[in-house]
Amino acid sequence: MLSKIFGLANTFFIVSSLTVYQYGVFQLLLSTYAAFVDLMLIGSPVVSNEVFRLVGSGKEEKAKHLFFEHSKICALIGIFFWSLFFFGSSSLSYRYGPDFIQLTKIMSFLFLSEAILHAMKLLLKLRLEFKVVASRSSIAKFVQFFILGYCFFFSNIGLREVLISLVVPMFISLLFLVPAAIRAYRPWVGINALNERILLGIIFAHGKWDIARSLFSRLTSRIEPWILKLFVGTEAVAVFSVANMIVGTIKDYFPNNTINSLAALAIGDKAKSQRIFSYGMKYLFLLSIAVSIAALIAVPPFIRLFFVKYDVALPLFYILLLNLPIGMLAFMPSIYLQILKKQKFLLYHSVIRSAAEIPLLLILVRLFGLWGMVAKEILIKLVMFPITLWYFSRYQNLVSIKWSQLFSFTEDDKIFLKNMYLNLASLIKMKLNIK
């Protein structure tokens, strides 16, 4: 919640200070950075899932080796990308001015911080240190808020200041993770890592499917801004990014990462896995409905009050919000397909999605501009959702979709909600020192 509060303030500083064109350029830079991070962390979901499974099975020595083997590779790739962007950007001086080259050099340091953060987050999530992981984001957002706030009131905010406000907080927040990461590593201190390379075996066994899936699934999202720029303009990139960002900000409130980790650790307990699956699917969907209604009421006056130049993004936001409940219904089946190592299907899913998405993107954006982008988003969700459910229904040995539970309220729900209320009340009393 703290992260989101500071995030909203930071968004206010950035969106209100940059012109629509500058914000579009910023989004293009971010999409380029994200594409290279995808390459750096390719295969990470499979490795992370395998580390969790190994620890859950008591094979700590194998998990330790896999963690180090994967982290070293990510670090080397991160250093290479930093060098490529920092030193290689000067070779573009024949086409771009010194301002753009300076922006590229500043952005390059994000690759170093991303490699370190990935290793720390994996270790902390392994020990269920979700609070610490969440605090890092809050710290980073607070430091960014301080930097942007200073520039907003005492100087000015341009693209250079925005990128600095991304890089500096990343490294400062990493320092706060060090003590917790050391504690999380202590259970491995007396354990000798397995002395054999296992990463390649995992990649070739089922990781190759996830790697191909990641490339296909993220390909479209990384080229979308550039297609918008090509057919509509840089300002259109900014307008769609704002509408999509609002939906993404709302989606970030959902505990997806926590559920993913808990589900992987409980994979050996069929009854517990079914409870996590059923409650996760039910309450994520119901929460998405409630949050969507609240967003329809709260977001429009907020945008018109603080970001009037992006009022044109509101109609796009209204339609994109439909993706939230559809995505939450598909979330739990997708998570368990990944945990159960159905990587081949997930690859086919991504191939089918990309095969449909890219032509739709080119045709609809060319014909309808921004509305073509929105139409593509909704159509793809509506097509891929039933495909996911159909395949998942074929592999229900561990967990299954109980539609009757999804749309009913039983005694178990009363107990679940009562326990959630009591835990929340107890936490608030403890934090406020109320006896």
The residue among 305 and 45 whose pLDDT is bigger is 305
3-state secondary structure (DSSP) of residue 342: coil
pLDDT, tens only, 221-258: 788 888 888 888 888 899 998 898 888 888 877 766 66
Tell me the whole-structure pTM to 2 decimals.
0.71
**Is 9 a residue whose pLDDT tops 70?**
yes
Mean pLDDT of 15-25: 88
Cα separation, 412 vs 266, in Å, equals: 20
Cα separation, 368 vs 334, in Å, equals: 31
Answer whether 250's CB lies under 8 Å from 291's CB. Answer: yes
pLDDT, tens only, 152-178: 988 889 999 999 999 999 999 999 888
Confidence of residue 204 (pLDDT cuts 50, 70, 90): low
Q: Which residues of 125-160 are buried (b: 16+ CB within 10 A; e: fewer)?
A: bbbebeebbbbbbbbbbbbbbebbbebbeeeebebe
Q: At what angle do helices 98-126 and 130-154 cross, to 10 degrees?
A: 160
Cα separation, 309 vs 41, in Å, equals: 36
**Is 111 a residue whose pLDDT tops 90?**
yes
- For 282-322, the DSSP string reads HHHHHHHHHHHHHHHHHHHHHHHHH-GGGGGGHHHHHHHTT
**Is 207 a residue whose pLDDT tops 70?**
no
Mean pLDDT of 48-55: 78
The owner of tokens 């749309």 is 407
Confidence of residue 304 (pLDDT cuts 50, 70, 90): confident
